[in-house]
Amino acid sequence: MEWKTDWGLRGRMAFTMFLLFALYVVFVGVLTLYFQNFLFPMIMLGAFSIAQYFFSDKLALRSMGAKAVTPEEYPDLHRRMDRLSQQADIPKPTVAVADTQVPNAFATGRNKKNATVAVTTGLLRALDEDELDAVLAHELAHVKNRDVMVMTIASFLSTIAFFIVRWGWLLGGNNRQGAPVIVAIIASLVVWVISFLLIRALSRYREYAADRGAALITGRPGALASALMTIDGRMDRVPKEDLREEAEMNAFFIIPIKAGFVGKLASTHPPTESRIERLRDLEKEMATA
Distance CA 209, CA 165 (A): 33
Q: Which residues of 155-191 are buried (b: 16+ CB within 10 A; e: fewer)?
A: bbbbbbbbbbbeebeebbeeeeeeebbeebbebbebb
| Known catalytic membership, residue 139 | yes
Q: Do the Cβ atoms of 107 and 139 come closer than 8 Å?
A: yes
CA distance 66 to 114: 16
Q: Which residue among the candidates 139, 207, 246, 283 is catalytic per the annotation?
A: 139
- Please list the active-site residues: 139
